[in-house]
């Protein structure tokens, strides 16, 4: 499986390259960065800290030419920013290259463009690729279906200081799972933030709180709070390695799949 990495010099990009190096049957075929990156022209494996004897990821230069990097691969993995992801999805669709997307924070217009690209190539798009998080999503939906609206639902998440979107894509996915359990549309019941004199909390609301600080990889807690008790379901990530493993697993799973938009539920058979 020949894989290209978008954002190859970033922290997640480097982790993905190291994951490819440790995955039999996979090799790095392209490494992509923005035109202003100081990593351009460098060996992607070297930037990721992989030794010179690991041939599967060494010898690939980091470039800013998306068509060249993506066109050399069977699948491209993208954990970048919305505008770049959309541009890369168009290239992948034009080149017939499958895609794994871990980018969050896309607006409705950008989301529509991903759906358009998925008409031409298979795309696996997930807010979070950790096995534990995807099990948590299923548990949250089931729990929300079992508890009546007297249980207030709050989603708390914390990430490192560098994260640029809030609430996180995973937090929103958890909110959607809770809304699905209650058979409502999340956008009709969500409260993304609270400030000032907000009044009493309405019944059925799904609230969000976002914390940012330090190097926290990711914490997501879903609270079901009633008058006499509180149930909490939580996932903590201690390393980005869990996301990289999920992404490379998804890349391998996409081989031979028909065009369409897939999720980690499909990859994991949940």
- Give the catalytic positions in this structure: 159, 163
For the chain, count helices (H), then strands (E).
10, 12
Q: Return the SS3 of 136.
A: helix
Alpha-carbon distance 98 to 253, whole Å? 10
Distance of CA 189 to the CA centre of its chain: 24
Q: DSSP class of residue 270?
A: -
Residue matched to tokens 């493993």: 245
Contact, 233 vs 222, CB < 8 A? yes
Q: DSSP class of residue 60?
A: -
Q: Which two tokens stand for residue 119?
A: 């008409």
Alpha-carbon distance 177 to 182, whole Å? 9
Alpha-carbon distance 88 to 31, whole Å? 12
Sheet of strand 260-262: strand arrangement: 62-63, 27-32, 2-6, 75-78, 98-101, 122-125, 260-262
């Amino acid at each position: 499986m020949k894989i290209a990495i978008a954002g190859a010099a970033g922290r997640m990009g480097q982790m993905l390259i190291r994951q490819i190096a440790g995955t039999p049957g996979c090799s790095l075929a392209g490494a992509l960065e923005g035109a202003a990156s100081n990593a351009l022209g460098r060996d992607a494996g070297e930037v990721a800290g992989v030794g010179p004897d690991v041939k599967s990821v060494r010898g690939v230069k980091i470039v800013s030419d998306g068509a060249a990097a993506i066109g050399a691969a069977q699948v491209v993995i993208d954990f970048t920013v919305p505008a770049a992801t959309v541009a890369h999805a168009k290239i992948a669709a034009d080149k017939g290259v499958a895609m794994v997307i871990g980018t969050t924070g896309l607006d409705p217009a950008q989301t529509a463009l991903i759906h358009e690209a998925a008409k031409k190539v298979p795309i696996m798009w997930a807010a979070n690729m950790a096995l534990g998080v995807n099990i948590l999503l299923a548990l949250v939906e089931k729990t929300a279906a079992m508890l009546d609206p007297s249980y207030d639902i709050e989603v708390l998440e914390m990430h490192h200081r560098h994260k640029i979107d809030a609430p996180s894509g995973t937090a929103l996915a958890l909110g959607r799972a809770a809304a699905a359990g209650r058979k409502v549309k999340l956008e009709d019941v969500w409260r993304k933030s609270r400030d000032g004199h907000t009044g009493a909390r309405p019944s059925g609301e799904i609230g969000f709180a976002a914390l940012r600080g330090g190097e926290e990889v990711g914490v997501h807690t879903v609270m079901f709070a009633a008058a006499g008790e509180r149930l909490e379901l939580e996932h903590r990530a201690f390393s980005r390695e869990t996301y990289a493993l999920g992404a490379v697993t998804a890349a391998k799973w996409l081989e031979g799949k028909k065009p369409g938009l897939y999720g980690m539920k499909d990859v994991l058979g949940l």
